[in-house]
Amino acid sequence: MAGKTAKPAAAKPAPTPEPEVTGAGEATTSEARSRFNAALDEAKAGAAALRDETRQKATAYADDAKARGEDWAAEAKVKAGELATEGKNKAGEALGNLSRVVEENAAAIDEKLGEKYGDYARSASRSMQNTANTLQEKSVEELGENAREYVRQNPGKSVGIAVVVGYLLSRLFRR
């Protein structure tokens, strides 16, 4: 055994003695638990306060956004009403002007195409003038209600008119 060296045996760690709990240690543990529970309760209260504050701010922002949206909607409604009235007035004027042009040219139509066609032109002129007067006299709301009533009474014609108008508008804006 001369060539072999013996390894020292590994030392086993000595068992650590368990701390003895005495009356003073129990008081320390109890005090630590008390402090931990107090800190936990304080953290919960802080989180609840933060949650409440966040909810209040979110509610305030939502109310502010709602109020702004309502203000913008009211402004848009007023502006749309003004534009609709302006458009109604311009359409009435244009129709009245077209009526006058047709009436002025009715005599020329009589000479070139015959009295029958001149009468058609005068009749069309009167219809356009009546429509122009109606546009000038009625409010946008009344005209809208008249249109709704017409659609209720004549749904088939209304769909046909909508198709034709849609087609003409698409052709107009395609260019």
Q: Which tokens go with 79?
A: 């502006």
How does 48-84 read in b/e, with b if 16+ C-beta sit within 10 Å?
eeeeeeeeeeeeeeeeeeeeeeeeeeeeeeeeeeeee
Of all residues in the chain, the percent with pLDDT exceeding 90 is: 42
Which of 173 and 56 is assigned the larger pLDDT? 56
pTM of the model as a whole: 0.52
**Helices and strands (H and E) in the chain: how many:** 4, 0
Nearest to 131 by CA among 157, 96, 85: 96
Give pLDDT, residue 56.
94
Kindly report the backbone phi and psi dihedral angles of residue 154, in degrees, each rounded to the nearest multiple of 5, phi listed first. Answer: -135, 70
Cα radius of gyration rounded to whole Å, the chain: 46
Q: How confident is the model at residue 1 (pLDDT cuts 50, 70, 90)?
A: very low
List, for residues 30-67, the tens digit of each pLDDT value.
888 899 999 999 999 999 999 999 999 999 999 999 99
Average pLDDT of the segment spanning 73-99: 90
Cα 11 from Cα 69, distance rounded (Å): 80
Q: How confident is the model at residue 174 (pLDDT cuts 50, 70, 90)?
A: confident
